[in-house]
Chain A
C-alpha cells in the first residue's frame, strides 16, 4: 500500500525544491566523506526510485540546516516500515553486521518496487540476492550452514525459476518468508517440521490434501514429529524431479530409515536387487505400491495395497497379474519361521545343501591336493613316474 501510493506520488508530484539544496553537494555521485564512504546520490535514479517522492530530510531526520555535522544519526526505516522492521528484529538476520534492510534491498536511494524486474527482491532475483551471502562458502562454513545456494539452483525450483523464468516457482522467500525469517528449530518458523506441509502446501495444494489424508499427514497433525514431512523425502533445497532416476534411486532408504524391517525385507527381493543397479528405475519403489502422499494402511479399502486392490496395483507393472500372482509377498522374510514358514524351510534346506556339498568337497579337494603333491614329489625324487 505504501509502495503503491509512493509510486503514484513519484509520478504525479515531484517536490524538487527541497532536494535541490542537498543535491547541490550530494548530487555528485562520486562524493565521499572523510572516511571514504560514498555519500553521493544520483538524482535521476533517486527520483525514479520508490522513495523519489520523499524529501531527503524525511529519512535523514537529524539534518535541519546547512552546514550540518559530519556525524548523522542512522536512518530509521522503521518510521514507515514498522511491520517489516519488527519482523526483522526477531529474525535470524537481526544481528547482521550490515544494515539489515540494505543487505537485501540495496542502495536506499535506488530502491524500486519488488514488482520491478530490476529490483533485488524481484522473485527472479531473490536467489541471487540471498545467494550473495548464502552461496558464499566461507560464510556458510562460519555459520555451519550447507551451501544451499548451489543446491537450490540445481533443484527443480531453481530450474523453474532460473532457467524457465517461472515467477510462481518457489524462491527462498516462498518458504522462509522475507523479513521474519526464523530458524527451522523455532516452532513459529514456516520451516519448522510440523509447519512444512502447510508451507509447501501453499503452492502444492492438491498434494498437501492427499498428504493430510494419509497416515503420515495424520501423524504429524497429531503431533508426532518423527513422522515424515515433505522435506524428509524431497529434501529442502536440492529437490529433484520425483520421477527422475536420481530421485527414484535415492529415496527408498529414506522410507527405510523408519520402516527398517520393511526395508530389509524389500532389500531381499527382486524389486530392490534390480532397483539398486540403476538403468531401470521403473522397478517398484516403496511409493509405487504404497502411494507417495496418501499413504494408507492395508486395512483401509482405499489403499492400493489393500487386498482387494492388489491385482490393479501389481498389474500396473506386471501385465497379466492375477489373484494368485498377487499373493507374492513383496516383504517376505525367509529368516522368519513364524511369518513365512515355507520360505524359511526352503532357505534352510538350500543353505544346508550349500554348506554340506561345499564342506564335503572342500575337505575332499584339500586332501586330494596334498596327497597328489606328496605323490608327485616322491615320484620325482625317486626318478619314477608320478601317479
Chain B
C-alpha cells in the first residue's frame, strides 16, 4: 500500500514540471487544488471490507449473544440461525477473497514490480521509528506539552488500524474456517483446538467490533477535525489545505520530490459526495447500533 497514482483522474505529465506546474494550477482560478489520496481500487477495498465486516459483525453478534432478546428476535425475523450463519459464511468468503487479492497485490508490487516503499519507508504500512516518535509526540501534544507531530502518509494510528485488521483477518479467518470445516481441520489439529477456535474467534471478533465501532470511528470520522465524517476514503480526494494540515511531512516530501503533480485530481463530484455521505452515515449508524447492542449484551 503506497501512494496512489491518479492514472485516470489526472493526466500524468510525461516530464514532471515539479513545483512550477503544481504552483501554476491554482493561480489561474481561486479554487482549491485536490489531491488523490486513495485509488479507486483502494476505495473499493475499503468498501468491500466495511460492508462485509458490518454483516459479519451483525450476524456474529447474534450468534455470540444468542441468549439476548434482540438476537433471538432478529434470528426469528430472518427465519432462524440458518440464515444468520449463511450470511456470516458468505461475507467471510467475500472478505477472505478481498484479503487474498490485497496480499497478492502487495507482493506483486513489492517483489515482482520492485516498487519502492511497499515494505519500508515513509509510504509503507510497516511501522518505523518515526511512528514511535509520533506516538509519544502526539501524546505530549494531547497534554499540551509539545507541538503536534507532522505526520507522513500513514500516521501511526492508521498503521495500527491496518495491522489490527490484517492480524484480525488472519486470526478470525483461520479460527472461523477451522470451525466451518472442523472434521477436515481435525486431521492436523488436536481436538481441543476446536474449543480454542471458538474462544479465539469470538474474542478477537469482539475486539474488532469494539475497536472499529468506537475507536476507529472516533479517530477517523468523529473527532472534531473530521466531524462528522472523513470523506477521503470514499471520494479518494482531499483538498490541498487538508493535505497540508493533516500530513505536512508527506506534503513537504511530495513537493520536494516534485511528485505533487501526479497526485493532482479534480474536485470530488457532487454525486460522489452525496453518495459517500449516504453510504458512510449508514455504515456509521449500523456500527453504532451494533456497538450499543454489544455493550448491552455484555452487561446484561
- What residues make up the interface of A, taking CB atoms closer than 8 Å to B? 267-270, 272-280, 283, 318-322, 324-329, 332, 334, 340, 342-343, 346-347, 350-351, 353-354, 357-358, 361-362, 364-365, 367-373, 376, 385-387
Closest chain-A Cβ to B143's Cβ sits at a distance in Å of 7
Q: Please name the 9 residue pairs, one residue from A and one from B, whose CB atoms are nearest each other, closest first.
A: A279-B80, A327-B191, A325-B186, A320-B183, A350-B203, A277-B81, A277-B75, A367-B142, A276-B66
- 27 pairs across A/B with beta carbons < 8 Å? A272-B66, A274-B63, A274-B85, A276-B71, A277-B76, A277-B84, A278-B76, A280-B80, A280-B82, A318-B183, A321-B183, A322-B187, A324-B189, A325-B183, A325-B194, A329-B195, A332-B192, A342-B192, A350-B199, A350-B204, A369-B223, A370-B142, A371-B141, A371-B143, A372-B225, A386-B225, A387-B225
B269 within 8 A of A: no
Within residues 232 to 273 of chain B, which ones have a CB less than 8 A from any CB in chain A? 245
- A343-B195 contact, Cβ under 8 Å, with A267-B67, A276-B72, A350-B203: yes
Q: How far is the CA of A384 from the CA of B190 in the complex (A)?
A: 64
Whether B190 lies near A324 (C-beta < 8 A) is: yes
- What residues make up the interface of B, taking CB atoms closer than 8 Å to A? 62-64, 66-67, 71-72, 75-76, 79-85, 138-139, 141-144, 148, 157, 164, 179, 182-184, 186-187, 189-192, 194-196, 198-200, 203-204, 206-207, 210-211, 214-215, 218-219, 223-225, 245
Whether B191 lies near A273 (C-beta < 8 A) is: no
Q: Which single member of B72, B85, B245 contacts A387 (CB below 8 Å)?
A: B245
Query: Closest residue to B225 on the A side, CB-wise?
Result: A372
Contacts beyond the supplied A340-B192, A357-B164, A376-B224: 15 A-B pairs with Cβ under 8 Å: A276-B66, A276-B72, A278-B72, A283-B81, A320-B184, A327-B191, A346-B199, A354-B210, A358-B210, A358-B211, A361-B219, A364-B157, A365-B215, A365-B218, A369-B223
Whether A371 lies near B142 (C-beta < 8 A) is: yes
Closest chain-A Cβ to B37's Cβ sits at a distance in Å of 19
Residues of chain A within 8 A of B179, CB atoms compared: 270
Query: Closest residue to B184 on the A side, CB-wise?
Result: A320
Residues of chain B within 8 A of A320, CB atoms compared: 183-184
Closest chain-A Cβ to B167's Cβ sits at a distance in Å of 10
Most buried by A among B66, B85, B184: B66
Whether A343 lies near B199 (C-beta < 8 A) is: yes
- A324-B81 contact, Cβ under 8 Å, with A346-B199, A354-B207, A368-B142: no
Whether A280 lies near B81 (C-beta < 8 A) is: yes
Residues of chain B within 8 A of A280, CB atoms compared: 80-82, 85
Q: How far is the CA of A278 from the CA of B77 in the complex (A)?
A: 11
Q: How far is the CA of A38 from the CA of B41 in the complex (A)?
A: 94
Query: Closest residue to A325 on the B side, CB-wise?
Result: B186
Whether B196 lies near A342 (C-beta < 8 A) is: yes
Q: Which single member of B62, B164, B183, B219 contacts A277 (CB below 8 Å)?
A: B62
- A371-B144 contact, Cβ under 8 Å, with A277-B80, A279-B75, A327-B192: yes
Number of A-B contacts (CB under 8 A): 155
Whether A340 lies near B224 (C-beta < 8 A) is: no
Q: How far is the CA of A350 from the CA of B206 in the complex (A)?
A: 10
Query: Closest residue to A327 on the B side, CB-wise?
Result: B191
Whether A376 lies near B183 (C-beta < 8 A) is: no
Q: Which single member of A351, A368, A373, A386 contacts B203 (CB below 8 Å)?
A: A351
Q: How far is the CA of A372 from the CA of B67 in the complex (A)?
A: 40
Q: How far is the CA of A297 from the CA of B42 in the complex (A)?
A: 58
Q: How far is the CA of A370 from the CA of B215 in the complex (A)?
A: 14
Residues of chain B within 8 A of A376, CB atoms compared: 224-225
Q: Which single member of B72, B184, B218 contacts A369 (CB below 8 Å)?
A: B218
Whether A328 lies near B195 (C-beta < 8 A) is: yes
Query: Closest residue to A370 on the B side, CB-wise?
Result: B142
Closest chain-A Cβ to B163's Cβ sits at a distance in Å of 11
Whether B187 lies near A277 (C-beta < 8 A) is: no
Whether A328 lies near B194 (C-beta < 8 A) is: yes
Whether B63 lies near A273 (C-beta < 8 A) is: yes
Whether B148 lies near A357 (C-beta < 8 A) is: no
Closest chain-B Cβ to A336's Cβ sits at a distance in Å of 12
Residues of chain A within 8 A of B84, CB atoms compared: 277
Closest chain-A Cβ to B235's Cβ sits at a distance in Å of 22
Closest chain-A Cβ to B221's Cβ sits at a distance in Å of 12
Q: How far is the CA of A320 from the CA of B71 in the complex (A)?
A: 31
Whether A269 lies near B192 (C-beta < 8 A) is: no
Query: Closest residue to B74 on the A side, CB-wise?
Result: A277
Most buried by A among B64, B80, B142: B142
Whether B219 lies near A273 (C-beta < 8 A) is: no
Residues of chain B within 8 A of A322, CB atoms compared: 183, 186-187
Q: Which single member of A276, A283, A329, A346 contacts B200 (CB below 8 Å)?
A: A346
Most buried by A among B138, B214, B225: B225
